[in-house]
């Protein structure tokens, strides 16, 4: 719809310019009625809900209004002086206006309207956001002696009739806590309390309850980008970076988990009273998936883990003598589901980062492994839905899989896994490839 509106608007303006050149008129009733028609037509699309209006349409709607209002004034007024017609002036005005049209439609093209993924559970879903301040940690990303804070958002059954398993999510390297909102909504609709964490300075941006905005730390972003390039870091430097990232992530997750469990069963009418503290799962995408696996090694109250497209950083060991990475030898006994895109799948057998992820690793022989054929790294988040252009740019191309099939199927698989592992409901027999 966004592209169609862009094309129609450009064609209308091209028609106006061509008419002006053909008739050698700077002003005409044809031009006036064309622009008034454009504005009326757009308003009809909004009122008919063909266009779902939000703030991204504001600039374009404002442009159409200004153009239409100007032409209404021209129709009602009397022209007292007409300057000499210049074809070059018409062409330049046309080109400038076309550029303005593209710019005003930019937000809509970047974030087009889309349908929400399917929600299949019986519960309506409510959300709540909180900011937790860790008085035992000083923020390492600032020069001030501020305590580390973590922003979280809950998705939970609105009409609750008991307690529900708690699921904690950690986003990817530069992600945000809402990166997999469709997954959280689907899980909550089936009777789960889901909490997603914004890791300040690791997340692209995060908002605190007091209005404070924190964006991603440039040095951290550079570290991650360089780590994905050959020859920037030595193997020992790479290993130290991954462990540093895991420490910050798991410290945040431990703090949030402990805070929630301290509040569980308290605060009548709050989300905390809905939590079953005996049934806990963790999951995450990319670096968040790696952190989820790491956290499950640290705590004995985690009952299930989902790793979405991440290396097992916490399972790596570095040998200074041989300058090699190897997989640790401790058996992993917690129910684990691995979900991989093509981007990661092709690295499982040839990248040192994924040496612990190998299907042949006997320490994880009870883990479930699923591969989405044709998916790219961000296909396993909601980003391709609300910004296909950003997803294309960030992951280096278009995925060869339907974006709704990828996220809705993943949501279904994760739900089935947690139902099996935490609620003892049904069997879990996923396909190897989707």
- Domain boundary (55, 76, 110) is at 110
Q: What are phi and psi of 156, to 5 degrees?
A: -155, 160
pTM of the model: 0.87
Span 138-149, mean pLDDT? Answer: 90
What is the rounded CA–CA span in Å between residue 254 and residue 248?
Answer: 10
- Rounded mean pLDDT, 174-190: 96
How far apart CA 431 and CA 302 sit, in angstroms, is 25
What average pLDDT does the segment 350-358 reach?
93
pLDDT score of 85: 73
Mean pLDDT across 127-135? 95
Encoding tokens for residue 49? 């809900």
Give Cα separations from 155 to 187, 338, 427 (angstroms): 8, 23, 25
Q: Please name the residues in contact with 259: beta carbons below 8 A apart, sequence gap of 6 or more.
A: 132
Whether the CA torsion 93, 99, 104, 109 is positive or negative: it is positive
Domain stops at, among 64, 87, 110: 110
117 assigned to some structural domain: no
In a domain, 93, yes or no: yes
pLDDT tens per residue across span 205-263: 999 988 889 999 999 999 999 998 888 999 999 999 999 999 999 999 999 999 999 99
Mean pLDDT (the chain, rounded): 92
User: Residues of the chain with pLDDT > 70: what percent?
Assistant: 98
Q: Does 27 score more than 80 pLDDT?
A: no
User: What is the domain-level CATH number for residue 282?
Assistant: 3.40.50.1820
pLDDT for 55: 84
The least confident of 79-88, 196-205, 389-398 is 79-88
Residue-level pLDDT at 344:
96
Range of the domain at 180: 125-423
The tens digit of pLDDT for each residue in 161-181 reads 889 999 999 999 999 999 999
Same domain flag for 62 and 159: no
In a domain, 83, yes or no: yes
Structural domain tally of the chain? 2
Evaluate whether residue 316 is within a structural domain: yes
pLDDT digits (tens, 9 = 90+) for 35-90: 899 999 999 998 988 888 888 888 999 999 999 988 898 888 766 555 667 888 88
Which position has the token pair 């914004």?
Answer: 198
pLDDT at 13: 87
Q: What is the mean pLDDT of residues 359-366?
A: 94
Lowest mean pLDDT segment, chosen from 164-168, 293-297, 342-346, 350-354 = 350-354
Any idea of the CA torsion for 290, 296, 299, 301, to the nearest 10 degrees?
140
- Do 364 and 272 lie in a common domain? yes
């Amino acid at each position: 719809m966004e592209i169609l509106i862009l094309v129609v608007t450009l064609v209308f303006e091209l028609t106006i310019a061509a008419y002006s050149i053909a008739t050698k008129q700077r002003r005409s009733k044809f031009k006036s009625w064309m622009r008034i028609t454009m504005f009326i037509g757009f308003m009809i699309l909004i009122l008919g809900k063909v266009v779902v209006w939000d703030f991204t349409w504001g600039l374009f709607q404002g442009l159409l209004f200004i153009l239409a209002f100007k032409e209404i004034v021209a129709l009602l007024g009397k022209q007292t002086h007409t300057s000499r017609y210049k074809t070059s002036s018409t062409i330049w005005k046309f080109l400038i206006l076309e550029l303005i049209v593209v710019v005003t439609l930019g937000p809509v093209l970047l974030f087009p309207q889309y349908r929400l993924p399917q929600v299949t559970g019986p519960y309506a879903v409510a959300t709540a956001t909180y900011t937790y301040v860790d008085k035992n940690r000083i923020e390492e990303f600032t020069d001030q002696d501020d305590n580390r804070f973590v922003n979280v958002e809950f998705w939970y059954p609105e009409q609750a009739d008991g307690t529900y398993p708690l699921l904690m999510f950690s986003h990817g390297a530069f992600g945000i806590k809402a990166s997999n909102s469709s997954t959280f909504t689907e899980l909550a609709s089936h009777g789960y309390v889901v909490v997603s964490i914004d890791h300040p300075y690791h997340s692209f941006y995060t908002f605190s309850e007091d209005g404070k905005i924190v964006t991603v730390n440039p040095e951290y972003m550079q570290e991650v980008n360089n780590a994905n390039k050959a020859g920037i870091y030595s193997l020992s430097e790479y290993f130290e970076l991954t462990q540093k990232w895991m420490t910050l992530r798991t410290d945040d997750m431990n703090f949030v988990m402990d805070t929630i469990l301290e509040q569980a069963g308290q605060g009548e009418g709050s989300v905390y009273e809905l939590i079953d503290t005996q049934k806990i799962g963790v999951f995450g995408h990319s670096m968040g998936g790696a952190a989820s696996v790491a956290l499950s090694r640290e705590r004995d109250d985690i009952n299930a883990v989902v790793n979405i497209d991440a290396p097992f950083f916490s399972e790596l060991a570095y040998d200074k003598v041989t300058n090699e990475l190897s997989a640790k030898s401790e058996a992993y006994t917690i129910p684990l589901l691995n979900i991989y895109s093509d981007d990661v799948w092709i690295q499982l057998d040839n990248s040192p980062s994924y040496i612990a992820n190998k299907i042949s690793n006997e320490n994880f022989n009870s883990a479930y492994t699923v591969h989405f054929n044709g998916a790219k790294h961000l296909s396993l988040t909601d980003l391709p839905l609300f910004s296909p252009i950003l997803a294309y740019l960030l992951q280096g191309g278009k995925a060869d899989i339907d974006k709704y099939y990828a996220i809705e199927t993943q949501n279904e698989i994760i739900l089935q896994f947690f139902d099996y592992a935490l609620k003892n409901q049904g069997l879990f027999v996923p396909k190897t490839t989707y």
